[in-house]
């Protein structure tokens, strides 16, 4: 069991959850998904101008393999226009951020779809399959607040 994180929809920041005077526990995949998607992944050198911060997660310095990077590159899309290519990159970045869960055996498959329900919004539907159950998460980007929010979570039997 891990300690539980929550995503503040107003600020887009992660915070530790409390259960009374103690930290709340989490035996679902929510905290792993939040950390994977809401932690800034290191940008490729060509993705930012010379001298600009490439961000990245501090613990990447301790990874067993230099190619083992954590987090999501959604932060690179914050000032992008709402084009189909941007929606596709958001989807690709989410898949990249979550693929470790399948590689490490936490889930059997990872699926991500993305769409624009209206101007200024982006929705990603994430499906993680484990033990015959699909765990589904809905993330929404609001351009007005410049923040992601976890808008929903559900568990349904996997289709056979």
* pLDDT tens column, 34-68: 889 989 999 999 999 999 999 998 888 888 887 78
Domain range for residue 123?
2-157
pLDDT in the model for residue 24? 58
CA angle 9, 11, 16 (to 5 degrees): 75
Q: What averages of pLDDT result for each successive group of 10 residues across the chain (160 residues)?
A: 63 63 65 89 92 89 84 91 95 96 94 96 95 92 86 80
* pTM for the model: 0.83
For residue 118, the model assigns a pLDDT of: 95
CA of 124: how far to CAs of 28, 60, 79, 95, 140, in Å?
19, 25, 18, 11, 6
Of 148, 103, 131, nearest in space to 28 by CA: 131
In sequence order, what are the beta bridge partners of 2? 26
Pairing of strands 5-7, 22-23: unpaired
Q: Do the beta carbons of residue 111 and residue 88 sit within 8 Å?
A: no
pLDDT given for residue 48 in this prediction: 93
Q: How many domains does the chain have?
A: 1
């Amino acid at each position: 069991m891990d300690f539980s994180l929550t995503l503040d929809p107003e600020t887009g920041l992660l915070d530790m959850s409390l259960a009374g005077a103690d930290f709340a526990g989490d035996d679902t995949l929510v905290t792993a998904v939040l950390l994977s998607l809401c932690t800034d992944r290191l940008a490729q050198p060509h993705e930012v101008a010379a001298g600009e911060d490439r961000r990245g997660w501090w613990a990447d310095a301790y990874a067993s393999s230099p190619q083992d990077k954590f987090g999501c590159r959604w932060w690179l899309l914050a000032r992008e226009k709402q084009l189909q290519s941007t929606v596709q990159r958001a989807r690709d970045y989410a898949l990249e951020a979550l693929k470790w869960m399948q590689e490490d055996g936490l889930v059997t498959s990872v699926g991500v779809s993305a769409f624009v329900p209206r101007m200024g919004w982006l929705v990603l539907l994430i499906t993680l399959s484990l033990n015959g159950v699909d765990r589904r998460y809905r993330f929404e980007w609001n351009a007005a607040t410049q923040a992601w929010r976890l808008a929903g979570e559900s568990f349904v039997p996997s289709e056979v």
